[in-house]
Amino acid sequence: MYKIAGQLAWKSLMRRKTRTWMVITMIAMSLSGLLLLQGIYDGMVSHMINTAIRSDSGEISLYASKYRLEKNLDYRIGNLEDIKKYLDKQNMIDAYVIRLAQEGLAATAHKSLGAILKGISLEDERRFGNFDTFLSQGEYSFGDKDREALVGFKLAEKLKATLGSRLIFTAQDANGEINAIAFRIKGIVKTGGLAIDEGSIFISMEKMAEFLSLSGAATQIALRIKNESKIKNVQNALQREFESIDVLRWDELYPLLIQMREMMDVFNMVSYMIVFTIAALGIFGVILVSILERVREFSIMLAIGTPYQNIRHQIVTEAFIMSLFGYVLGAFSGGILLLYTASSGIDFRYFEAGLESFGLNAVLYADIRGYYFLQAFGAVFFATLLSVLWPLRVLKKIKPIEAIQGKML
């Protein structure tokens, strides 16, 4: 029965090749566009999360209690040697960096602005998150005598500073005294992280400790975890080991990124609903017209004893053949688009200024995930199933004798 229904369905579709291929093409184009949009959306969020992890928080960050609320050097991490010994023994920790930061006033000959001065180790940052790849101008160095600095590109623009420009940073040290430090800009970094690009200056850890009259201390220790699924386990272990320190995951530090990811999930869901509603309407129209065109044919089949189930199977098979062809073609073309955009990206340099204000690069790269295709298959399946319900109801109401005599429904 199913074999005969399949053969009849195929012959019926081939009799109307133009209409059939129009529906298949519509499904394929909708699906490929949807897959591309989903990959781009997820790629945008993944880029922002990855940038935040590489340039700042890592998967886990350690802060002294109350520091994140008051940003005061009185709330600093002081037992660095004990913490370093513990971290060095942990197999799940891939890398870590120690940073010392202080808020203050950055000034050039043209302008002064509030900024954050951070003491770091360039080599540790390179191992931690390939920080050197964020360099857009200049050299990844603090100079021979640690008298030079790296500056976020937005901050450099606001200060009207360029490579070689002299910067003076004024802040309160650990003793409560107001100190100033001068340096020249050695490099300009462009991370995509707004906090860094718009307000951060980096100098060597040694020079920072000297400036703040503070040694053997840090304001942040960021960790990279080898296995993402073990992040919570590492967090709990660290919290038990160092009870007086706040141990926070990246998603606790950047709740806005989680909200953006959830928002993108909603966008994807709405996109699926719109695209596959259109696809369902297309299949519905083809199947309904096909039934109306063949009312006499189906009536004769019913009149000579053909079970209604056989005709129903034929109609359903026609719909699923179109959907299957559309899905395969759309998944193939969408997969090619995703592969291309994941490797080469899409150039939006014309909108670069607007994208940078959201922490995005001008070239957007897509993510590729297997569940995209599973979701698409499920959506096509249910869209097809819904699209044949009404045409089958119309078919069910046919009165064979009246239809054969030319009296419609």
pLDDT in tens, 79-100: 888 899 999 998 999 999 999 9
Q: Which residue has the higher pLDDT, 211 or 34?
A: 211
Question: What spatial distance separates the first Cα and last Cα of the chain, rounded to whole Å?
Answer: 27
Q: Which residue has the higher pLDDT, 301 or 353?
A: 301
The whole-number average pLDDT for the span 57-69 is: 90
**118 three-class SS:** strand
**357 three-class SS:** coil
The whole-number average pLDDT for the span 103-131 is: 92
pTM of the model: 0.76
Q: Which residue has the higher pLDDT, 7 or 41?
A: 41
Give me the percent of the chain exceeding a pLDDT of 70.
87
CB 137 within 8 A of CB 164: no
Q: Which residue has the higher pLDDT, 111 or 23?
A: 111
Distance from C-alpha of 263 to C-alpha of 42, rounded to nearest angstrom: 11
**275 three-class SS:** helix
CB 257 within 8 A of CB 56: no
Question: Is a pLDDT exceeding 60 seen at residue 358?
Answer: no
Mean pLDDT taken over the chain: 83
Question: Is a pLDDT exceeding 90 seen at residue 3?
Answer: no
Picking from 76-85, 296-305, 379-388, which range would have the lowest pLDDT averaged per residue?
Answer: 296-305
Q: What is the pLDDT of residue 70?
A: 84
Q: What is the pLDDT of residue 370?
A: 85
Q: What is the pLDDT of residue 357?
A: 57
Distance from C-alpha of 192 to C-alpha of 302, rounded to nearest angstrom: 67
The dihedrals phi and psi of 179, each to the nearest 5 degrees, come to -120, 160
CB 297 within 8 A of CB 30: no
Distance from C-alpha of 150 to C-alpha of 246, rounded to nearest angstrom: 28
**Which among 391, 205, 409 has a CA at the least distance from the CA of 316?**
391
The whole-number average pLDDT for the span 308-316 is: 75
The whole-number average pLDDT for the span 21-34 is: 82
Question: Is a pLDDT exceeding 70 seen at residue 2?
Answer: no
Question: Is a pLDDT exceeding 50 seen at residue 409?
Answer: no
What does the pLDDT look like over 225-269, one tens digit per residue? 998 888 999 999 999 988 889 999 998 988 888 887 788 778 777
| Domain boundaries of the chain, sorted by first residue | 2-52+257-404, 66-243
Question: Is a pLDDT exceeding 80 seen at residue 294?
Answer: no
